[in-house]
Amino acid sequence: MRTSLFIARTNDTPFPEIGIAAVRVLRRPGHTIDFPYTQTFCGQVHYNTGYQPEALPLVRRFLEAFRDSEVVL
């Protein structure tokens, strides 16, 4: 099973230690965690603030980055 970790940039930039800690916790019981380096913004902020057309390319890129993942955390 491919389990991928999505780290929102709004969290990763100021607090990268949170993503590192999440991976450590998930690996303890034996989970293999994938981190697609092609992930970017998911588009939620754009969508929620009224920029739905501008969000579409971000949503498509997000879906492409996680296309092969069975689980996204």
Using the structure block, give the residue that is written with the tokens 């929620």: 48
Give mean pLDDT, residues 62-73.
Answer: 92
Q: CA-CA distance, 18 to 6, in Å (whole number)?
A: 12
What mean pLDDT do residues 16-29 have? Answer: 89
pLDDT band at 16 (very low <50, low <70, confident <90, very high): confident
Q: How many domains does the chain have?
A: 1
| Tens-digit pLDDT profile for residues 30-67 | 888 988 888 888 889 999 999 999 999 999 999 999 99
**pLDDT grade, residue 20 (50/70/90)?**
confident
Residue 10 belongs to what domain range? Answer: 3-72
DSSP string of 2-71, one letter each residue: -EE----HHHHTT-HHHHHHHHHHHHTTT--EE--TT----SHHHHHTT-HHHHHHHHHHHHHHTTT-SE
